[in-house]
Amino acid sequence: MSVEGFVAPGFERVQEAFEAGLAEELGAGFAAVRDGEVVVDLWGGWADRAQSKPWARDTIAPVYSTTKGVSALVLAMLADRGLIDYEAPLASLWPAFGAQGKDRVTIAQTLAHQAGVPGFIAPIDPDLWLDPPACAQAIAALAPMWPPGSASGYHPLTWGYIVGEIARRASGRSLGSILREDICGPLGIDFQIGTPESEHARCAEMRKPSRGGEFGEITPPRKAAFFTPWAAPVRGSARWRSIEIPSANGHATALAVARLYEAYASEGEIAGTRLLSHEGFAALTQRRWKGDDLVLPYNIDWRTGVIGNSNGIYGPNAEAFGHSGMGGSVGFGDPVARVSAGYVMNKQSHHIMGDPRAGRLIEVLYACL
């Protein structure tokens, strides 16, 4: 499988590693930005399962939960503009969310997965996920599975409907519209939350993993989040791509992921354009919870919607911030090395976090710095 793209002088080893790793892929892309300059932008393999359509420069792939770090950036911009207050109860903005004892959980705690509503234990029609206003209403009515604010438990899908409602109520616009109009459009970044049908032809087809991830004991929070027949919608349909799920259905090139996570490497800037004040960046990256997660089988360093690098999966520096997506996608930014990177692919693996394919590329990237 041929590899196309660009590496800056000194980063040739990244291309060698990408070429070697492509043997394990269907199709993939990897990109990195350092000090505002693109130093790696590579792609190769196949965009479809039949292996008839080569992965192209403009092929976009669903990045699943890597979307969360981008959505967190959008909400940080709203907070920086004074439209939301991280420390205020979410119910002060969205009264219905205060139902069943959730009236005191703050917006910051909610973004750090502490609200106690990781999914639906009682059966729902899976198509509810494809109706964001109705789904948000149903999530608001849920009883929390633990006292809100007392623990973290990853909200794989519900998080996105909650933050979408926060953005809409605070700004009058959808989160995907803010991303498009205020960031991606002006800066020429190919990342979409709510992908129009005109762009669907360039979406990569996903190949599901051969087995699931290792979660350990299936506790009630884990069951609600992942292990019911209604835990997620059917993915890949035109409707699924077109609606906005700010937790899970961003579509992007690897370069677009690297560019957006550049905001985490450059303390709120992308390509020299300041999106956040220094205070706004500090609030976005402030630790909100660190401990064993009730859903993910890890100790997680939750910031305000993004993950601190205490587990070392986003490079060697603990000061980095990132997020991983189902099947292997990754985005991260490191303010120490001033580097960000994005990895996208369409052959999904069973690794929940820390996919070794991306890990090898990140390791070689740092060796080249």
Determine how many CB atoms are found less than 10 A away from the CB of residue 150: 13
Q: Per the structure block, which two tokens stand in for 84? A: 């939301």
Q: Per the structure block, which two tokens stand in for 235? A: 């993915």
CA quadruple 5, 354, 65, 36: dihedral, nearest 10? -40
Residues 6+ apart with CB under 8 A from 193: 67, 70, 71, 175, 176, 179, 244, 245, 246, 249, 250
Contact call for residues 83 and 116 (beta carbons, < 8 A): no
Residues 6+ apart with CB under 8 A from 12: none
Rounded to whole angstroms, how far apart are CA atoms 233 and 241? Answer: 11
Rounded to whole angstroms, how far apart are CA atoms 192 and 362? Answer: 24
Positions marked active-site = 65
Task: State the DSSP string of 20-59.
Answer: HHGGG-SEEEEEEEETTEEEEEEEEEBSSTTS-SB--TT-
Q: How far is CA 221 from CA 75, 117, 127, in A?
A: 26, 8, 21
